[in-house]
Amino acid sequence: MNSRYRWVIVAAGAFMGCIAIGSIFSLPVFLQPMSAATGWSRTDIAFAMTLNFIAMGVAAFGWGMMMDRVGPRPVLLCGSTVLGLGLVLASRAPTVSVFQFCYGVLVGVGGGAIFAPLMATVAAWFDRHRSLAISLVSAGMGVAPMTVAPIAAALVSTYDWRFAQLLIGVSVWALLLPAALLVHRAPAVAGDGGGRGGEPPVTVRAALMSPQFAVLGLTYFLCCATHSGPLFHTVSYAVSCGLPMMVAVSIYSVEGLSGLAGRIGFGLLGDGFGAKRAFVGGLLVQALAAGAYMFAHDQYEFYGVAIVFGFAYAGVMPLYAVLVRENFPVQIIGAVVGAATMASCLGMATGPLIGGVIFDTYGTYRWLYISSFTTGLVAIAIMLAFRPSQPPSKTPASSDLGTVPAE
């Protein structure tokens, strides 16, 4: 298997990310129908998403360490199985507490095996064009609002929310399990775990205690805290402004379409001008766009903000994995990306819950968007303090990654 197979890994990763992230983030589409059908409050339903992000983050660290030992394929197979199971069981939940466990814990644990291991795997496969490759995988995840979300909206408009969610869970099994078989361990970490080009041995503990990881982890947390609330609650906010459900969901899809361009665009910017510069610029645009949502009231105002917001928030996300790969050895990349993902998921966990509490308390989302804007500015200030541990490694253009052993 020659180095060209790495682009198959990218394609498989993009597809798996789209299905997995799309199924997890279908909950905003279900929020209002579920509340109307069951009488559960939006805060209670949103709390399931908060649990989901916490479980996803903790699990991502564990899955990342496991990936460093056994490779990505077993991790992806196990995670896909748990993800589908969580969705199927959540669709049958008789009480909100059972739903919170199934969707919050089981779906979160399964999702944690998808995002971080895929990003770490692709980062390990590439020396040149790393930002672009990771961004393409992330772009697959960004397609989710244009694919899974409209499908979920059509299903919940035709059937009840339980049957719609059951179908999504079964589809996760049917699509992710075969795709996981295409993903292999990168040759750079195959064998006895020796490093590339004299990379010094670094333990996971030392990496996580480094100032570089402290800055990246905190920035990742704040970045995700900035956009998680707008992502989760904007559909409900648009409905409260008088927009029909399908139009409100289309705003979510516009974010995804714009995010697709953002992921590729920021990937090219990261390769051309450096990941940190591109990252800081994206954080600034994200903060401004998150705050701008509170001024949107009609369909086209929402679309305008969604284009800018989606481009920025989605564009900066892949650059974390690039910065991790530039500053930490490939032998522990699964654990470090998993730990960074845990920080991001904890940030993502804040938005759904805070937004639900704000709406249930004040009957408006205004303070959610103000807090998102403020948090985004703090993220920029933290990231400006980042100093790389070493210059990014250089690999000749003719470098071949060799062959990959069977897993």
**Residue 246 confidence class, pLDDT cut points 50, 70, 90:** confident
When the pLDDT of each residue in the chain is averaged and rounded to a whole number, the result is 85
Angle at 159 between CA 158 and CA 164, to 5 degrees: 115
**Angle, in degrees to the nearest 10, between helices 333-362 and 318-327:** 150
**Residue 388 covered by a domain:** no
Q: What is this structure's pTM? A: 0.72
**Residue 266 confidence class, pLDDT cut points 50, 70, 90:** confident
Domain that residue 316 falls in: 3-191+202-383
**Residue 334 covered by a domain:** yes
Distance CA 165, CA 96 (A): 15
Read off the pLDDT of residues 363-394 as tens digits, 9 standing for 90 and up: 888 899 999 999 999 999 999 999 887 554 44
Angle at 268 between CA 263 and CA 269, to 5 degrees: 95
Helices in 181-273 by DSSP H: which ranges?
204-208, 211-240, 245-273
Q: Determine the pLDDT at residue 2.
A: 54
**Residue 404 covered by a domain:** no
Distance CA 36, CA 281 (A): 41
pLDDT at 114 over 50: yes
**Residue 120 confidence class, pLDDT cut points 50, 70, 90:** confident
Distance CA 353, CA 350 (A): 6
Q: Determine the pLDDT at residue 273.
A: 84
Q: Identify the CATH number of the domain in which residue 248 sits.
A: 1.20.1250.20
Contact indicator for 186, 194 with CB cutoff of 8 Å: no
Total number of domains in the chain: 1
pLDDT at 193 over 60: no
Contact indicator for 1, 122 with CB cutoff of 8 Å: no
pLDDT at 339 over 70: yes
pLDDT at 304 over 80: yes
pLDDT at 107 over 90: yes
**Residue 331 confidence class, pLDDT cut points 50, 70, 90:** confident
Question: Taking the CA atoms of the chain, what radius of gyration do you get in angstroms?
Answer: 20
**Residue 390 covered by a domain:** no
